[in-house]
Structure 1
Amino acid sequence: MNKVRVLLIDDDEDDFIITREIFSRISQADRYELTWIDTFEKGINAVLKRQYDIYLVDYRLGKHTGVDLVNEAVLSGIREPIIILTGKGDYKIDEEAMNVGAADYLVKDKIEPDTLDRSLRYALKQSETLSALKESEHKFKIIFDKAKEPILISDYTGRIRDINKAGLNFFGYHIKEILETNDRSLFYTQEDRENFIQELETKGAVSDFECQMVSSKGQVYYCSLSSFLQIDPQNMVEVYHTIIHDLTYRKHQETKFIHESKFSISEHIAKGFVEEIRNPLSTINLVLHELTSDDALAYNETLQNNLDIIKTNVDNINQLTKNFITSTETKPVQKQKTGINALIEEAIVEINDLILGHRIILEKHLLPSETYLLIDAKQIKIALVNLLNNAIESMESYPKILNISTINDSGMYSILIEDNGKGIDPELEHQIFEPFFTTKKEAEGLGLTNAERSILAHNGRLIFKPQQHGSLFVVQLPIH
């Protein structure tokens, strides 16, 4: 068995002799190897070089104290235990020694072999435990800091205790800002936060809890949370360790696939429906041609007028079917570098008569610097005009306020179109992007569908967010 190397740092040789004698009377005394140094300077040098397993340090060391030595050792990252010795019992010295990191405190004239042995063994064991804990914390800290997914440490009250670099980037905060932020502000809805906490408190751990979270700039993410509850031994409080998985891209792809399938089905239905209409229309046109060509009926003015009416309406139906087919067809995207602010202004100009006619209060909060996106300007402009028209038509009472703002966040350029109109019935929210769905009279129900189709074709997103008064549509386009 390796001997425990003990260094006594004491400027009084008599104290060394007494200490050596006490060591000799310890049961299994041969397990210790005692060395003596008589000055603070030599002592701190030995401590910093980590030449011994444990240190006994006299409180009085000339112009220095043993507490000074402990303090310097701790600041230098020394892990070996240090026990303070003094000639008299003094609670203030005891408290001072323990506060700076001493392993124990012994009064010289009360030291007995068994007391000393127990103090040494306890200090060494405690040191081993602390070293293992620090090593574990160090490994955890490396994993915590290097993890690519956000990791959040918080408590029941919502206080954020720590977050890794990936989390700061994800939510768009600086470390000082987020530590002053309650985790409630990271959840898009408080209902999600309450359900998450309830499940975690009930089960002690949560896996794949899906919810929406929001960045400092208002960017909403679809997330899956995996979390476990742990007692913080230092503060004796429950803390939550939460790993945040970003599902936004996956959700976007799923939504895109679902809507593209709907577009494909609606296109197929529309073509079949139009074919069914064209056949009887062709027959009607043929009969009309024969009737108008009949010389016996040429001078029947009433009949000729009625035939003209029928012919005009047949032509209108033909044109409507062509428009119907065009509205459901997937149009090729012809991308070019386009200034988005300029495009928004063009869309506003196109609906300017409606703005003036309805006495709309237009509020614009566009980012001051122009951002250029790779888009089909014509398609995106039509989508914006459709959204702006919908916003204007939804406002019934004054003051009518239309707000257009932009955000550049997380690789996406967001255009926010908000109105203070009547909003959308919550029971109908899931249908608003459905082809041919509308709550308006004499409307095809394809405005929002086509807007979403165009935006999805650009790998973007069209998001509806109900407001307390009115509606908010967010157009998100990727920044290349």
Structure 2
Amino acid sequence: MHDTIKVLLIDDDEEDYLITRDIFSEFPAKKYSLQWVSSYAQGKEQISKQAHDVYLVDYRLGAESGLELIEKAVQNGITAPLILLTGQGDIEIDEKAMRIGAADYLVKGKFNPHQLERSIRYAIKDAQNIAEIKNLNAELENRVEERTRELAEAIQELAQSKSELLKALEKEKELNEMKSRFVTMASHEFRTPLSTILSSASLIDRYKTEEDDSKRQKHITRIKGSVQNLIEILDSFLSLSKLEEGKVPYAPAEFDLKDFSEKLLEEVSSITKEGQKLIYEHQGNEKAIFEDRQIMHTILINLVSNSIKYSPEGKNIYLRTYIDGEKNAFEVQDEGIGIPLTEQKHLFERFFRAKNAINIQGTGLGLNIVKRYVDMLGGNISFTSNINSGTTFTISLPKHSD
């Protein structure tokens, strides 16, 4: 982007233009140029030229609507962000603006130069991030198409290997579908916590007195929670990538299972909801097992975290471990929302989300990763679940010795 950020104001009121111009003159960085058009038709024409970095659009443009102008611009493929300006705060207008693709929503007379300048900067950065995701998606599409062409040519040259090549094509199709779902899911799952972090970080600036400490802490907690969500998403992607590539190291060693489990519950205690209790029980005289500590951590942290996430406040989550002569067993039980009976057969599928969990943040990868790790260890995982009563996962692993 060029050094000067070009902003176009589309507003039928010249007085509003003059006020906006004065606000721009107070921006801390003198890198903005403001231009103005006073009608819907002029705004539409200027947007079609895509000669500006950001557009400020008034809600009322004579007999026509700024919302309609924004919606049509987005439909026509405008990449620069559009910010809606209105004379009065209205939650319905705010929500509709976001739905049709507006980058932000500001009420005239309610923002200062710093807030407007920050809104413009954030809108431009958000548009750049979206463009980058689209570019990555296009690059992946091209790579998949190229690979598919190569495989098609190989089929013609090696007719005797038809069966093997058809399997490769099916795998390619699966990877293509996985790529599409990944891009869609990643765009959403990263955007939600990042938006929370950005909004909370900007709001913290407003709370500067001791009386505002509780408000600051509230937003700090939101930021920490969002960062934890991002870490969990990245961990899921990394685990899945290693499993897909067959690059998961296996390094078994003896460790104290009881101590390991207690520390694991202490680790996840920071994400429990109000009133939730983590309860650990161990059966058997033995405490030491011989297994890969990191893989066991990944398996159990996924199951316990899910129990916390899908259980309401005030409920108990149980982790039980058993050691006997032939096997090591683990049980994670919660009193949460449960899994619908008709959907239980899909539970370990990649990206699967039950209908009653769609509104709860998640990638749909955790249980698929758990199942694949359990299979890798030569074990078995099963579960029982009832709606609004909870779910219990049971894992049985063969005992190993050093």
When normalised by structure 2's length, the TM-score is: 0.40
Question: Highest CA radius of gyration, 1 or 2?
Answer: 1
Higher relative contact order (CA 8 A, sep 6+): 2
Q: Is the strand fraction higher in 1 or 2?
A: 1
When normalised by structure 1's length, the TM-score is: 0.34
